[in-house]
Every structure is written in C-alpha cells, then in structure tokens.
Amino acid sequence: MQHVPLGRSGLKVSPLCLGTMNFGPHTTEADSFAIMDKALEIGVQFFDTADVYGWKTGEGVTEQILGKWFAQGGGRRERVVLATKVFGDMERKDASDPNQGRGLSARKIVRQCEASLKRLQTDWIDLYQMHHIDRACPFDEIWQAMETLVAQGKIVYAGSSNFAGWDIATAQGTAGHRHFLGLISEQSVYNLDNRVVELEVLPACRHYGLGVIPWSPLAGGLLGGALAKQAMGRRAGADFEKRVAEKRPKLEKYEALCAGLGEGPGEVALAWLLHNPAVTAPIIGPRTMDQLTGALKALEIKLSAETMTKLDEIWPGPGGEAPKAYSW
C-alpha cells in the first residue's frame, strides 16, 4: 500500500482511513479489535475517532475501545496515526456550570484532550481535530490552547472538520500571525451525491496545503449498492428507504454503470474520491471484516476519463469552484 503525505505535513498516512464510529454501538469490542488488527496487517494505519463516538454522554465509548486495543501492546500504538476530535458535549449536565456543552474554548480543548488521552491509554494524539466550527470563540484562543498541547507533547498536529472555506482561511491567517503551523487537514462530508465542498472548501484546502479526509464517502450507504441490496430483500430504516426512493433514477444509472465496469458501487464511489488529487484518504467505517477488506478494492480501480464523465452526468457537482461555478 502506497502511503501518502497528509496535506503539506511530513506525516505519511494510508490512502484509506479507518473510521471507528461503529465501534461500540454497532460493532462489538472483540470484532473491533479484529478489524483494527486486520487494518494494520494490510497497511491501513490511519485511524479516526472522536470523543463523542459511542453516543453516551461523557463516556467516550469508542475511544475506550481503542485504548484497550492499544493496551495489548505489540507496537499497536506506535504504528497507528491516531486522530480524534474535540467540540462535542462530553460532560454530564450541571445547570450551575455555564462552560458545559459544545464549543472550542481553551478550557474545553485542554480538559477534553486530557480526557481523550486517558480513555485512549496513550501519551499523545497525532491529529487533534476540531469537530466543528465555534464562531463564538476567537482563533487566537483556540491556537493558544493547541500550541500549549503541542509544546507539552500531547498532540502533534491540528486539523479541522466541517469547516467552511472561509473558516479555514481565518484559522490559517491567525495561525500564521502566531508563527504556528495551524491546520494540516480538513474532514468534510464528500461523496458523489454531496459535492458542495467543491465550491470553496476544496479550493481553500489546496491553497493552504490541507489534506482532505472525506467522511460519509458512501453517502450513508446510498452509494454502496442500495438498489441491489433492496432487491435481495435487505431491509433498512424508513428514512433510508425514502432517500433511496428519491434517488432511484440516479441509483439505477449508477449501479448499472458499476455493473458494466465489473466493480461494486461502494468501491467505485471510493475510487472516484481517490482520483481527486485534493483527497488524502476517504474514511471507511466498517462494521464487519468483510466491509474492511472490500474497501481495499477501491485502491486498485482505475477510472477512465469516459467513466469519470459518466459519473459527473449521473451525479453532477456544483459546476466547479466558486465563483466560476455561478458567475462569469
């Protein structure tokens, strides 16, 4: 597996990122351990998590699972490029404490980093990501906290998630004034069905040297062969079935195109992202071992210019970058 730099940094990561959001809620601890072991075996050493994953306020269930896996030793922690996130509500409600809830205050960043380190059973986090923008908090304050954590050896790099293009510009402008590296990556929703980031986020990332880590590359399963699975009698939730019904004409064309290529729809969706030079590593979130190994096929798929054009016809983007997408 050919590892690639994460943005303008010297950090090398696998071209697929192992997302761990299913660990705990949908995948048992034992199965999660097996998936992580297999990921390392096949060269996927970029792992992404978040303090809120596990969806039990204040518990950090998924981070705890990773921590137990690291604690087994065998070089697991040393081999993994570990990314986690801060922003979400991680404290039990106390009406007398106005500093609870979501946000990126320096107090929250420092406290929640310490809590993540404890749950993850590690001394350092390779990539500490802001899970969302907090426009009520100035970047001077945010970077002060991040600089302190870097100086203490608790984090190595900082990244963002769900930032707008102008948020990235603001963050990097402030970091530059402080003589700080700033962001090296942005984690955004990006897939064939949702290409909004092509307007301003991807151009901002290219300009400032940020690696792009797409989340939901299969659009929540929509691009993973939804019609074929439906025909096999697999049931899904009402909301997903509604999305499938709304997108059926596009899905019919898409799945037929993939069948003609002899490739699975999910693998084609990942391969399409990997053909974009702005993308570093799509996040795959396997619930099972088969889903992990299946995703590897995307690394071998070469999409022709003709196929890329057909995909654009089925799943049109916003028309390019702003402002040319909507202006002269």
Mean pLDDT of 205-215: 98
Selected residue with higher pLDDT from 91 and 164:
164
Would you say residue 95 has pLDDT above 70? no
Would you say residue 235 has pLDDT above 90? no
Q: Which domain holds residue 33?
A: 4-314
Mean pLDDT across the chain: 95
pLDDT value of residue 102: 87
319: in domain: no
Mean pLDDT of 261-266: 96
pLDDT value of residue 233: 64
Cis omega before residue 323 (within 30°)?
A: yes
Question: What token pair was written down for 278?
Answer: 């702005």
Mean pLDDT of 209-222: 97
Would you place residue 99 in the very low, low, confident or very high pLDDT band (cuts 50, 70, 90)? confident
> What amino acid is encoded at 151 in this protein?
A
Query: CA 286 to CA 217: how far, in whole Å?
Result: 12
Question: What token pair was written down for 157?
Answer: 């790099």
pLDDT tens digit sequence for 125-134: 999 999 999 9
Mean pLDDT of 109-136: 98
> What amino acid is encoded at 322 in this protein?
A
Q: What is the CATH number of the domain that holds 212?
A: 3.20.20.100
Comparing 63-72, 88-97, 147-156, 280-289, which segment has the lowest mean pLDDT? 88-97
78: in domain: yes
Task: Give the rounded percent of residues in the chain with a pLDDT score beyond 90.
Answer: 88
The beta strands (E) that lie in 162-271 are given as 183-187, 211-212
Mean pLDDT of 232-245: 81
pLDDT value of residue 101: 80
328: in domain: no
323: in domain: no
Backbone torsion region of residue 188, taken as left when φ is above 0, otherwise alpha when ψ lies between -120 and 50, otherwise beta: beta
pLDDT tens digit sequence for 55-74: 888 899 999 999 999 999 99
- Give the DSSP H or E segment for 227: helix 226-231
322: in domain: no
Mean pLDDT of 87-99: 77
320: in domain: no
Query: CA 229 to CA 210: how far, in whole Å?
Result: 36
**Whose CA is closest to 49, among 203, 163, 187?**
187
> What amino acid is encoded at 201 in this protein?
V
pLDDT tens digit sequence for 151-162: 999 999 999 999
pLDDT value of residue 320: 95
How many folded domains does the chain comprise?
1
pLDDT value of residue 229: 85
Mean pLDDT of 68-86: 98
> Which stretches of 1-105 are DSSP H helices?
29-42, 61-70, 76-79
Would you say residue 29 has pLDDT above 70? yes
325: in domain: no
The bridge status of strand 183-187 relative to strand 211-212 is parallel
Would you place residue 231 in the very low, low, confident or very high pLDDT band (cuts 50, 70, 90)? confident
List the catalytic residue out of 53, 128, 208, 254.
53
pLDDT value of residue 234: 65
Phi, psi dihedral angles at 58 (to 5 degrees): 85, -5
- Return the residue matching tokens 């980031």: 197
Q: pTM higher than 0.75 for the full model?
A: yes
Phi, psi dihedral angles at 310 (to 5 degrees): -65, -40
Q: Note if 190 is an active site residue.
A: no
Query: CA 137 to CA 322: how far, in whole Å?
Result: 27
